[in-house]
Structure 1
Amino acid sequence: MRGFTEQRGADTPDEIWLCEHPPVYTQGVAGLPEHILNPHGIPVVQTNRGGQVTYHGPGQVVAYPLIDLKRLGIYVKEYVYRLEHCVIKTLEGFDVTGHRVPGAPGIYVRLDDPSGHAPLEIALPAERQGIKASDPFRGLGKIAALGIKVSRHCTYHGVALNVAMDLNPFHGINPCGYAGLETVDLATLRVFTDWATVAERLGSRLASHLSP
């Protein structure tokens, strides 16, 4: 991924990589060591993506769009919006409503009404450290994490959507730097599907929305 981005030229076609990782924690450039509570022997890998710590493991669709933003004609903010939009539309196909939370990248769902469309009313604390997420995130679960890197106007890293996974490793960290933030997957929401189906749908969305 990083090597592809470093070696690509102006005419290199864009690619979208879809994969499923073995258990691993990845720490972003903004990550703090105190947000790794108990890794339980799971490797912790430092990365150069944005954001803080998250977990990857079996049952999670990870998408790495390798996109030339200059050629596509968009800026980073629009790119992030499109990534989130693709996740939201993928979830919509399973009758699940995904929500954005300003200041907290990723996609969230209402635990009491996963298919409801009422807008969220949430105010995040200005300072994360030492502040539990239970109040601002009460009633919400994070179903997709997002972290990107842009080098010479080309993107790598990407987005991870939880399908049906062992969620216990998320208790070993403060996901995205928020203590107590609940992480969910489609299975938690009583949506039972397979990895390949979600990967195909998310990949198709990304290809459609990230093509010139």
Structure 2
Amino acid sequence: MPMLEAQWLARMDYGIAWELQKKLIREIDREESSEALLLLEHTPTYTIGSDRHPEHLLYGKEELARRGISLYEIDRGGDITYHGPGQLVGYPLLYLDAVGLDLHAYLRNLEEVIIKLLADFGISGGRKPEYTGVWVGDSKIAAIGVKFNKARTRRGFVTSHGFALNVKKNVEQEGFQGIIPCGITEFGVTSLETLTGLEWQVEDIGRRILPYFAEVFGYAVPTVIESLSS
């Protein structure tokens, strides 16, 4: 089985993580680095993807500054979402060969990883056909937004961006009230702690997701998450 390098980056500013993704994409394309899954938390941040709707951001610049929330317009698909402490963010940086390439299936596979993880907690996660992401009933627990970067040295793509799984209860209140998440007004958000009634550490959930990611994408299970920052 192919190997995957899993890295736990702890809590990191969004801009730093974005630049790290770009660096690793170039290295993976040139076969100078292994394919990787970056797992981390972000400081409070709103990101707006290529499907831009400025009206879905409810805070002005002064309110963002007062609350200490950063704002980035980025190159993934999708609309606006929130990242912050208490949320497990995963950035798979994988090479997808052009032969038999199915980009839609890649998104469904990311959802499947999270659905399998939730089942481990006795939670029935699912999909809504009109939306990307993972849902429990009518509440969204994980957002997904990706970019397919055309490889320069090989025929195919290197993936970037990825998924954001709400782990701790505080995520529901601390950021989502300032946006219309992904432009969806009729449904809410939830978290692993809300659904289980138990407390969880984000890094522990990052470790628990690894075997499901390896199973769905066909990698050997990484045994160690490298702690690159504290």
TM-score range, shorter chain: 0.7 to 0.9
- Aligned residue in 2 for 1:61: 88
Aligned counterparts of 2:142 and 2:194: Cα–Cα separation in 1: 13
Aligned counterparts of 2:30 and 2:214: Cα–Cα separation in 1: 19
Aligned counterparts of 1:25 and 1:55: Cα–Cα separation in 2: 5
- Aligned residue in 1 for 2:58: 37
CA contact (8 A) 1:20 1:61 kept: yes
Shift of 1:163: 0.6
- Aligned residue in 2 for 1:123: none
CA contact (8 A) 1:37 1:172 kept: yes
Aligned counterparts of 1:172 and 1:181: Cα–Cα separation in 2: 15
Aligned counterparts of 2:146 and 2:99: Cα–Cα separation in 1: 17
Shift of 1:206: 1.4
The share of aligned pairs that are identical, in percent, is: 35
Shift of 1:73: 5.5
CA contact (8 A) 1:18 1:203 kept: no
Q: How many residues align?
A: 183
Shift of 1:3: 2.2
Correspondence 1:79-90 to 2 at 5 A:
79-90=106-117
**Partner of 1:54: helix, strand, or coil?**
strand
Equivalent residue letter for 1:6: R
**Partner of 1:187: helix, strand, or coil?**
helix
Shift of 1:10: 5.0
**With structure 2 as the length reference, what TM-score do the two structures score?**
0.74
Equivalent residue letter for 2:201: D
More helix by share: 2
**With structure 1 as the length reference, what TM-score do the two structures score?**
0.80
- Aligned residue in 2 for 1:179: 185
- Aligned residue in 2 for 1:3: 23
CA contact (8 A) 2:52 2:79 kept: yes
Aligned counterparts of 2:28 and 2:192: Cα–Cα separation in 1: 35
**Partner of 1:97: helix, strand, or coil?**
coil
Aligned counterparts of 2:197 and 2:92: Cα–Cα separation in 1: 26
Q: For residues 16 and 71 of structure 1, do their structure 2 counterparts lie closer, same or farther at Cα, with a shift above 3 Å needed?
A: farther
Shift of 1:98: 0.6
Aligned counterparts of 2:197 and 2:114: Cα–Cα separation in 1: 15
Aligned counterparts of 1:101 and 1:159: Cα–Cα separation in 2: 16
Aligned counterparts of 1:76 and 1:207: Cα–Cα separation in 2: 18
Per-residue CA deviations over 1:64-108 (Å, capped at 9, x if unaligned) read: 000011189642111111100000000000111111011210011
Shift of 1:21: 0.6
More strand by share: 2
Aligned counterparts of 2:126 and 2:99: Cα–Cα separation in 1: 26
Aligned counterparts of 1:102 and 1:141: Cα–Cα separation in 2: 14
Per-residue CA deviations over 1:29-77 (Å, capped at 9, x if unaligned) read: 1021000012642111111000000000111110100001118964211
Aligned counterparts of 2:177 and 2:188: Cα–Cα separation in 1: 9
